[in-house]
Amino acid sequence: MRKALNISRKELKVYFESPIAYIFITAFLVVSTWLFFRTFFLMNEATMRGFFVIVPWITLFFVPAITMRLWAEERKAGTNELLFSLPVEEWQVVLGKYLAALAVYAITIALTLPLAVTVGLLGQPEWGVVFANYLGTLLLSSAVLSIGTFVSSMTKNQIVAFIIGVIIVAGLMIAGEPIVTLFLPTAFYPLAEYLSLSNHFSGLARGVIDTRDVIYYALVVFLCQYLTVKVVRGTKVK
């Protein structure tokens, strides 16, 4: 585990040594705050519901931007050869990199807390719902981060990793919407609805913490990381 954390530490160093993390955090905060306040005062209600309606869609574009470099860059520069010549197991590297990306996202989300404080100053939000929403956002993004890292492990090209990542995540976001289910045979409805990333979020957005939703996100995280280990095992050199 210490080796995995050392990998995270190195990845975080790279994120924060380069402008990536700062640009990401700033852009995320600007976009989310702006979109939130655009309608906040119109509704004349001290609630963060508007914010958590936007967040899944921002996640869709922003998370693949964090994860795209994780493996693709490694393969392109050939540094995976150096990495896997060290005494480390594949899963330790995969876990370490994932945790680093999760940390960047968690920091970003934590920096939106002043929004919650502002809303709290203006009125009486339901703090339980706000908490559930933050938890939901973290769970959703954990799953999306996992999908993103998996996609990144399959290519040497960061742009490809980003675009494919967005497409897959967008597909899973709208899987349960009528726009998709309309074209599916009835038998597939439950499956499409179950696979939908946003369906599992909506419960949490209402303030209901359902273990089935938590399990769903955990499954996505685990499955994608497991597949990443498999891919990485076969691509240790440039």
Partner 1 sequence: MIEVREITKHFGETLAVDNVNLTVNKGEVVGFLGPNGAGKTTTMRVMMGLLTPETGTVRVNGKDLWEEPIALREQIGYLPENTPLYEELPVIDLLRFVGRMHKIYGRKLEDRIDEIIQICSLSEMVYKDVAELSRGYRQRVGLAVAIIHDPPCLILDEPTSGLDPTQIIEIRRLIREAGKEKAILFSTHILDEAQKTSDRIVVISRGRIVAEGTPESLAKMASGQKSYEIEFIGDKPSLLSKLSDFVAVTEEEKLMDGWTRFFLTSTNDLDVSENIFNAVVSVNGKMRKLIPKVATMEEVFLELTRGESTAVVTTKEEAQA
d(CA 4, CA 12): 12
To partner 1, the closest distance from the beta carbon of 84 in angstroms equals: 6
d(CA 226, CA 94): 9
To partner 1, the closest distance from the beta carbon of 234 in angstroms equals: 8
User: Which of 88, 138 has the CB closer to partner 1?
Assistant: 88
CB 125 within 8 A of CB 119: yes
Q: How far apart are the first and last CA of the chain?
A: 26
Q: Any idea how long the chain is? A: 238
d(CA 230, CA 215): 22
d(CA 106, CA 25): 10
CB 177 within 8 A of CB 196: yes
User: Which of 5, 27 has the CB closer to partner 1?
Assistant: 5
User: Which of 45, 89 has the CB closer to partner 1?
Assistant: 89
User: Which of 38, 233 has the CB closer to partner 1?
Assistant: 233
Q: What is the CA radius of gyration of the chain?
A: 19
To partner 1, the closest distance from the beta carbon of 119 in angstroms equals: 38
User: Which of 13, 206 has the CB closer to partner 1?
Assistant: 13
Tokens, residue 94: 């995969």
User: Which of 18, 39 has the CB closer to partner 1?
Assistant: 18
To partner 1, the closest distance from the beta carbon of 2 in angstroms equals: 8
To partner 1, the closest distance from the beta carbon of 96 in angstroms equals: 10
Under the rule (CB under 8 A), what is the footprint of partner 1? 2-3, 6, 9-10, 13-14, 17-18, 77-79, 81-82, 84-89, 236-238
To partner 1, the closest distance from the beta carbon of 12 in angstroms equals: 11
d(CA 21, CA 66): 8
